[in-house]
Structure 1
Amino acid sequence: ICGDFWGKTGPVDGIAAEPRYLDVSVPPGKRKTLKVEVERHAFAYVFAGSGDFRAASKPFGVLTEKEVNGEEIHVRETTGNRSLVLFDSGDEITVQAGDEGVRFLLVSGKPIKEPVAWYGPIVMNTQAELQQAVSELQNGTFIRSQ
């Protein structure tokens, strides 16, 4: 979709963070490992089926057990439809597909190392820019016609 992978380049380019959007399908019961450069941040958005990402660079939010008040509770073994998995740093991501297979977007990019200020759906770099955008939104001048 975006970026380069296995010698192929997607239609979107020229973006500073060099994003890579991959549409990944893994058949039922199969395992797939994808390389992700260490300097990139990555996440997967599952939109069909389910899969086990636990072995993949210690993903956040896909715990199999968690201790709460001294009691072990079952959280989730697999990540299903409409789930987001954030990955820690590493050089590869592995997924084991569930009984119906899994399809997900694997998104990665280089950190832009810029400040972030946000309020609701508005994201800017500074509080001043954010206040200006909110003011424009309230005044009806946020979106300008060309």
Structure 2
Amino acid sequence: MAEKKVVTQISTPKLQREGGGFLVRKVIGGIIPSCDPFLMLDHIGPVDNKPGESVGAPDHPHRGFETVTYVIDGGIKHKDSEGNKGNLKEGWVQWMTAGRGIVHAEMPTDEIMENGGRMEGFQLWTNLPAKHKMIAPRYQEMKPEEMASVENEENKYTVKIISGTVNGVSSKINTLVPITFLDIHLQPGGQFTHDIPPGFNSIAYVWRGSGVLGSMPAHMGQVGLLSEKGTAFTMKATDQDCHILLIAGEIINEPIVKYGPFVMNTQAEIDQAVADYQAGLLGSIPGKEERLQQTEIALARQRESGTWT
């Protein structure tokens, strides 16, 4: 019988403003300072915006890691310097490998800007080992109907597999570091157990409802940091639905030097990344000034209406 993995601590990240005006809970990179190979996990929203008030993240660079965006509600319009573009809608996943460098923009969809609406989602930053930091950028996208999932009526759970494998069912997303990223829905009284390989760091984050992580109760907005020992981790729902992200990744255990959107192994590599960006070597996207202006106008409207606090 597999040894149980337990929660070593339950933490509650505060809701705060981030970047250009996003309301986020900083799960990793905040209340949990580090969790190799993960650099950041932000829970964005939920927030309801009026027409013209939704903010985005205008043109910005990345090098040396991957960004994973998972949309729960609303929509994001993506463009990047590699020529990729599209609208991420409810339930969509975008897995972008920045590698040697990319510039991208993440803006509200035209529909959200025109009509307003709710925005909620997650962004995960996952590190790359030195051997992969300067690979060519790569873009993977997954619609809800393409997402692998498993369901168990007896144990009252449904698991969406963003990356990794559950009960022999695997995601189509290809990762450069072994990573498990699951969105678990437990109905009242439901229970789900997943085996996490040795040598992985892992967290469980309740993003809606409440339940039990291992043996510790947790509610919406709380995260459990899992023990290094053990492999089998069990999550339960009590008297209400519970939605949990289970995220686990193989430890890279290499030096990390960070400077904003660049994550490398040495300061010299960071200096080179800044120089390359300033020289335009990471590329650009037409329409930069328009996106900056749209964001400034949205923030001004939030302040005028009292949405910004």
Question: Structure 2: how far apart are the matches of 1:105 and 1:85?
Answer: 10
Tell me, yes or no, if the aligned pair for 1:117 and 1:126 is still in contact at 8 Å: yes
Question: Deviation at 1:135?
Answer: 4.5
Q: By how many angstroms is 1:44 displaced? A: 1.8
The answer on whether the counterparts of 1:50 and 1:101 sit within 8 Å (CA) in structure 2 is yes
TM-score (norm. length: structure 2): 0.35
User: Does the aligned pair in 2 maintain the 1:41–1:108 contact within 8 Å?
Assistant: yes
Correspondence 1:10 to 2:171: yes
Equivalent residue for 1:49, pick from 205, 209, 215: 209
SS in 1 for 2:202: strand
Distance 1:100 1:111, change over 3 A: same
C-alpha distance 5-126 of structure 1, shift in aligned 2 (>3 A) = same
C-alpha deviation, 1:91, in angstroms:
0.7
In structure 1, what is the Cα distance between the partners aligned to 2:244 and 2:281?
34
Report the structure, 1 or 2, having the larger helix content.
Answer: 2
Deviations 1:77-130 (A, max 9, x none): 632223332211221112232432211121112112222111334322222222
Out of 206, 221, 227, the residue aligned to residue 88 of structure 1 is: 227
| Alpha-carbon contact 2:257-2:264 (below 8 Å) kept | yes
Matched, 1:100 2:240: yes
Name the CA distance, whole Å, in 2 between partners of 1:133 and 1:16: 21
In the alignment, which residue of structure 2 is the partner of 1:20? 180
The root-mean-square deviation of aligned C-alpha atoms, in Å, is 2.5
- d(CA) in 2 for partners of 1:142, 1:4: 37
Q: 1:128/1:52 Cα in 2 relative to 1: closer, same or farther (>3 Å)? A: same
Compared with structure 1, are the counterparts of its residues 54 and 7 closer, same or farther at alpha carbon in structure 2 (3 Å cutoff)? closer
What is the number of equivalent residue pairs in this alignment? 123
1:114 aligned counterpart, secondary structure? coil
Match of 1:38 in 2: 198
| 2:264 matches 1:124 | yes
For residues 22 and 3 of structure 1, what CA distance do their matches in structure 2 show? 8
- Partners in 2 of 1:141 and 1:106 — Cα distance? 38
Question: How far has the Cα of 1:8 moved from its partner?
Answer: 0.9
User: Within 1, Cα distance between the matches of 2:190 and 2:184?
Assistant: 13
CA distance in 2, matches of 1:104, 1:42: 13
Aligned partners of 1:48, 1:30: CA distance in 2, in Å?
A: 15
Describe the shift of the 1:119–1:78 C-alpha distance in structure 2 as closer, same or farther (beyond 3 A).
farther
Ranked by relative contact order (alpha carbons within 8 Å, sequence separation 6 or more), the top structure is: 1
Query: Conserved in 2, the CA contact under 8 Å of 1:122 and 1:133?
Result: yes
TM-score under structure 1 normalisation?
Answer: 0.68
Matched residues, percent identical?
Answer: 32
The code of the aligned residue for 1:84 comes to V
Specify which structure has the higher proportion of strand: 2
Gaps of 5+ in 1: 56-76
